[in-house]
């Protein structure tokens, strides 16, 4: 698709000031769910094959993730022009196609593939609020999902597979985890990276990272396992006990309690802070 064609597409409304996305999608706490979201994405046969065949994921896993996250957040925080950001992200994927590990054709812009990637990001946002902030009302869950559908439509990819409401999304997400996800080479690679982290991490100074790399790997992987759907935990061979759940719940309560004490400028990503500063609307005050 040409740049001219992209510019000619209508500007679609995306969640902006006053929405739940605007309030929560830029929280740094979202990084606690990156491994979970990434693993669910890479366990999709088409999506996993696309990353394996068309990405530098295996040589620069964290760099790839940290390049992607700000752009995805830009769909919300570049408001009122988040639609342009969404279409730019979509156009990165036009050439990503091939055969998956089962010999089936895939294309990144097939809605079955593209919506699953979006669904995992939405699910991570939902968990961020529900697990690490406060239990959501049914009305807020419905609102958050409706906003997420707006975000997806901004990409300009067919919405024929998109569940119409929160209840049907839950059914869809559960079915995907139980019936469609497999341990692809990309997923296995992510698990190995999480258990034995790469030698560098862009967000942490090298000397400090060398000290933290091995000691932090096990607890961070445990934290991620605790956020996974049970069918996925079983498939990757991770046992989760009642004791694990109690400890995980205590950790989540601690994060929720301490978070308001963190300076506001440290609680939000740069993309979110820029959106709040530009509009004068947001939780920074």
Mean pLDDT of 174-188: 97
Question: Which residue stretches of 78-184 are H helix?
Answer: 82-91, 111-132, 138-154, 166-175
34 neighbors 65 (Cβ within 8 angstroms) = yes
Task: List pLDDT tens digits, range 15-38.
Answer: 999 999 999 999 999 999 999 999
Quick one: pLDDT band at residue 3, thresholds 50, 70, 90? very low
Task: List pLDDT tens digits, range 215-260.
Answer: 888 999 999 999 999 999 999 999 999 999 999 999 999 999 999 9
Residue 24: how many other CB atoms lie within 10 Å: 21
Quick one: pLDDT band at residue 276, thresholds 50, 70, 90? very high
Of the two residues 109 and 204, the one the predictor is more confident about is: 109
How high is the mean pLDDT of the chain? 91
Q: Report CA-CA distances (Å) from 41 to 38, 47, 53, 244.
A: 5, 6, 15, 24
Q: At what angle do helices 34-42 and 45-54 cross, to 10 degrees?
A: 100
Mean pLDDT of 167-176: 98
């Amino acid at each position: 698709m040409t740049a001219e064609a992209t510019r000619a597409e209508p500007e679609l409304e995306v969640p902006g000031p006053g929405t739940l996305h605007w309030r929560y999608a830029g929280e740094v706490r979202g990084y606690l769910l990156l491994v979970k979201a990434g693993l669910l994405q890479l366990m999709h046969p088409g999506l996993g094959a696309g990353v394996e065949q068309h990405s530098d994921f295996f040589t620069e896993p964290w760099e790839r993730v940290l390049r992607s996250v700000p752009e995805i957040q830009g769909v919300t925080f570049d408001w009122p022009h988040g639609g342009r950001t969404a279409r730019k992200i979509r156009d990165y994927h036009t050439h990503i196609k091939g055969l998956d590990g089962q010999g089936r054709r895939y294309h990144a812009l097939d809605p079955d593939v593209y919506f699953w990637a979006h669904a995992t990001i939405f699910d991570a946002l939902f968990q961020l609020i529900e697990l690490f902030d406060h239990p959501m009302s049914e009305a807020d869950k419905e609102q958050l999902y409706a906003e997420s559908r707006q975000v997806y439509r901004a990409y300009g990819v067919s919405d024929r597979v998109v569940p119409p409401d929160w209840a049907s999304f839950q059914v869809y997400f559960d079915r995907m985890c139980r019936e469609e996800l497999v341990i692809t080479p990309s997923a296995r690679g992510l698990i190995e990276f999480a258990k034995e982290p790469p030698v560098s991490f862009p967000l942490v100074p090298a000397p400090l990272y060398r000290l933290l790399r091995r000691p932090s790997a096990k607890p961070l992987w445990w934290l991620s396992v605790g956020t996974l759907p049970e069918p996925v935990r079983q498939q990757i061979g991770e046992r989760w006990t009642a004791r694990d759940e109690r400890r995980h719940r205590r950790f989540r309560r601690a994060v929720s309690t301490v978070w308001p004490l963190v300076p506001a400028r440290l609680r939000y990503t740069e993309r979110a802070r820029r959106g709040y500063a530009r509009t004068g609307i947001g939780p920074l005050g």
